[in-house]
Amino acid sequence: WQTLSDRINHVTPSATLAVDAKAKAMKASGLDVIGFGAGEPNFPTPDYVVDAAAAACRDPKNYKYTPTPGLPELREAIAAKTLRDSGYEVAPEQVVVTNGGKQAVYSTFQVLLNDGDEVIIPTPYWTSYPEAVKLAGGVPVTVFAGADRGFEPDLEALEAARTERTKAIIVNSPNNPTGAVWSPETVRSIAKWAIEHHIWIISDEIYEHLNYDDAKTTYIGAAVPECRDQLIVLNGVAKTYAMPGWRVGWLIAPRPVAKAAAKLQGHMTSNVANVSQRAAIAAVSGTLDVVHMMREGFDARRKAIVAALNAIDGVNCPTPTGAFYAFADVSALLNRPLGPNGTVSSSSSELAAALLDEAHVAAVPGEAFGAPGYLRFSYALADDQLAEGMRRFQKWASR
């Protein structure tokens, strides 16, 4: 539509939210849809967090705006949590509380990029990164690493993509959509390369506590302390504490960057909802017991879904060791008749649409993550739903 800005016309809508919205609309119309689309933990927010929020609702001091970068107590709690979990010190002034990790991503690029600046995005990538880069006038540069490398970036390929305009690189481990946890060697080598070439590192650590088997999150700022002057860490409560709807995230950056992000926020959203920030204080300053409990639940589902996917002829799913996503190669299901109607899909996008329409199973096509030929299944859903969804996929794909 001509009236709209080029800026917004160049943005692709969020495919993950679109799949989720379609699945939810089908459900609302009475259809029994199994949703592997959204990255939403199916656990409730812990009671002690909800209690803190309920108490905050009754205290009139929380009816006011908060300081733009967040409540001082929350910024302090986030700094303390960073020392506890990541193993290094940050000052509360380096923390800016944002409306979800998503706003932290958006703000980071708004304050870092000039028109034409390039951001290297290891691919498969989380669907919002390239769009946030484009919205800031930047140019996303994708560098693909496939299942053959465990979806771990290859330093030589990153170097080949580097130009004079390279301003930043994204690190996202544990990773959405692949579930890969990058090795300490990979993380360290990216940090050293970024230092050598004066490239900002944007480390999205939102799945930090969701590791399985022997995998462990390598915190880039702890592994290579010298990179901290050019490091921006993104995080939030959505995944760790089952709080996606509360919309609390944050960024941790060198002071001038944090100040700039707060300045931007001052004109955009003023601050995150006061009550949500009070809830987040309870979450981040509490123990990690609830996370460990959820992780055990996810781990059992991870094993179940990987086994079920690999049992389907034409599906190949490496075992992920982080987050709550299984990223399955479905290219062998393309260009052949599937389902009761013999539907032929020529892309993973068409396959996802057919699977949803015909088998009522929602998964996100790899196109949304720069990886055609794959489907992403979030396994943050109930065990019986997972089993039923896999049964339907298997039945549909075997006809």
Question: Which residues form the interface with ligand PLP (CB under 6 A)?
Answer: 39, 100-102, 126, 172, 176, 204, 206, 236, 238, 244, 249
Nearer to ligand PLP, 113 or 202 (CB): 202
| CB 8, min distance to ligand PLP, A | 20
Alpha helices in the chain (DSSP H): 6-9, 15-28, 47-57, 72-86, 100-112, 128-135, 155-161, 184-196, 220-223, 255-268, 274-285, 289-310, 348-359, 383-398
Nearer to ligand PLP, 94 or 103 (CB): 103
| CB 266, min distance to ligand PLP, A | 20
Please tell me the distance from the alpha carbon of residue 377 to that of residue 361, in angstroms, as a whole number: 10
Please tell me the distance from the alpha carbon of residue 160 to that of residue 143, in angstroms, as a whole number: 9
| CB 362, min distance to ligand PLP, A | 15
Nearer to ligand PLP, 121 or 359 (CB): 121
For residues 399 and 339, the answer to whether their CB atoms sit within 8 Å is yes
- How many residues comprise the chain? 399
For residues 180 and 147, the answer to whether their CB atoms sit within 8 Å is no
CA 14 vs. chain centroid, Å, equals 12
Cα atoms found within 13 Å of the Cα of residue 385, Cβ hemisphere only: 16
| CB 26, min distance to ligand PLP, A | 21
CA dihedral 99, 73, 270, 231 (to 10 degrees): -60
| CB 210, min distance to ligand PLP, A | 11
| CB 38, min distance to ligand PLP, A | 8
Nearer to ligand PLP, 176 or 218 (CB): 176
Nearer to ligand PLP, 338 or 368 (CB): 368
Give me the sheet containing 374-378, strands edge to edge: 325-329, 374-378, 364-365
| CB 125, min distance to ligand PLP, A | 9
At residue 226, what are phi and psi to the nearest 5 degrees? -65, -15
Residue nearest to ligand PLP as judged by C-beta position: 100
Please tell me the distance from the alpha carbon of residue 12 to that of residue 288, in angstroms, as a whole number: 36
Nearer to ligand PLP, 269 or 331 (CB): 269
Cα atoms found within 13 Å of the Cα of residue 100, Cβ hemisphere only: 12
Nearer to ligand PLP, 108 or 345 (CB): 108
Please tell me the distance from the alpha carbon of residue 390 to that of residue 307, in angstroms, as a whole number: 10
CA dihedral 242, 218, 371, 373 (to 10 degrees): -80
Nearer to ligand PLP, 179 or 318 (CB): 179
Beta-strand pair 361-362/34-35: parallel
| CB 2, min distance to ligand PLP, A | 32
Nearer to ligand PLP, 118 or 205 (CB): 205
Q: Is the peptide bond before 320 cis (omega within 30 degrees of 0)?
A: no
* Three-class DSSP category at 116: coil
| CB 245, min distance to ligand PLP, A | 9
Tokens 């800005």: give the residue: 5
Nearer to ligand PLP, 37 or 100 (CB): 100
| CB 177, min distance to ligand PLP, A | 8
